[in-house]
Amino acid sequence: MTILITNIKELLQVREENVSLIAGKSMKELPTIKDAYLLIENDRIADFGAMENCVIKKFDQTIDARGKIVLPTWCDSHSHIVFAGNREQEFVDRINGLSYEEIANRGGGILNSAKILGRTDEDDLFNQSLKRVHEVMKMGTGILEIKSGYGLTLESELKMLRVIKRIKNTVPIKIKATFLGAHALPLKFKNTKRAYVDHIINDMLPVICKENLADYIDVFCEKGYFSLEDTERLLVAGKQFGLTPKIHVNQFNAFGGVALAVKHGALSVDHLEELIDDDILALTGSKTMPVALPTCSYFLGIPYTPARQIIDAGLPLALATDYNPGSTPSGNMNFVVSTACIKMKMTPEEAINAATINGAYAMGCSNEYGSISIGKKANLIITKDIPSYNYLPYAFGDNHIEKVIINGQLIN
* Residue 299 touches which of Fe ion, ligand NIG, none (Cβ within 5-8 Å per kind): none
We find the least distance from the C-beta atom of residue 116 to Fe ion, in angstroms, to be 17
- Residue with smaller CB distance to ligand NIG, 251 or 373: 251
How many secondary structure helices (H) and strands (E) does the chain include?
16, 16
Size of the residue set binding Fe ion (CB under 5 A): 1
We find the least distance from the C-beta atom of residue 259 to ligand NIG, in angstroms, to be 19
Point out the residue whose Cβ comes nearest to ligand NIG.
Answer: 326
Q: Which residues contact 56 (CB under 8 A, 6 or more apart)?
A: 4, 37, 39, 47
* Residue 326 touches which of Fe ion, ligand NIG, none (Cβ within 5-8 Å per kind): ligand NIG
* Residue 109 touches which of Fe ion, ligand NIG, none (Cβ within 5-8 Å per kind): ligand NIG
* Residue 215 touches which of ligand NIG, Fe ion, none (Cβ within 5-8 Å per kind): none
* Residue 220 touches which of Fe ion, ligand NIG, none (Cβ within 5-8 Å per kind): ligand NIG
- Residue with smaller CB distance to Fe ion, 79 or 383: 79
Residue whose C-alpha is closest to residue 8's, from 46, 63, 74: 63
- Residue with smaller CB distance to ligand NIG, 6 or 324: 324
The yes or no reply on residue 322 touching Fe ion (CB under 5 A) is yes
How many other C-beta atoms are found inside a 10 Å radius of the C-beta of residue 105? 12
CA dist list (Å): 114 to 110, 117, 359, 397? 6, 5, 28, 31
Interacting residues with Fe ion between 54 and 83 (CB under 5 A): none
- Residue with smaller CB distance to Fe ion, 166 or 246: 246
Residue whose C-alpha is closest to residue 150's, from 159, 140, 139: 159
- Residue with smaller CB distance to Fe ion, 230 or 322: 322
Give the DSSP letter string of 172-215.
Answer: SSEEEEEEEEETS--GGGTT-HHHHHHHIIIIIHHHHHHTT--S
- Residue with smaller CB distance to ligand NIG, 48 or 216: 216
Cα separation, 187 vs 169, in Å, equals 34
CA dist list (Å): 250 to 55, 230, 268? 52, 15, 13
Residue whose C-alpha is closest to residue 326's, from 190, 147, 169, 199: 147
* Residue 245 touches which of ligand NIG, Fe ion, none (Cβ within 5-8 Å per kind): none
We find the least distance from the C-beta atom of residue 100 to Fe ion, in angstroms, to be 13
The yes or no reply on residue 232 touching Fe ion (CB under 5 A) is no
We find the least distance from the C-beta atom of residue 368 to ligand NIG, in angstroms, to be 26
Cα separation, 224 vs 232, in Å, equals 16
- Residue with smaller CB distance to Fe ion, 10 or 76: 76
235 and 197 Cβ atoms separated by less than 8 Å: no
Binding residues (CB under 6 A) for ligand NIG: these are: 109-110, 113, 220, 248, 251, 296, 322, 324-327
We find the least distance from the C-beta atom of residue 408 to ligand NIG, in angstroms, to be 33
Where does this chain bind Fe ion (CB under 5 A)? 322
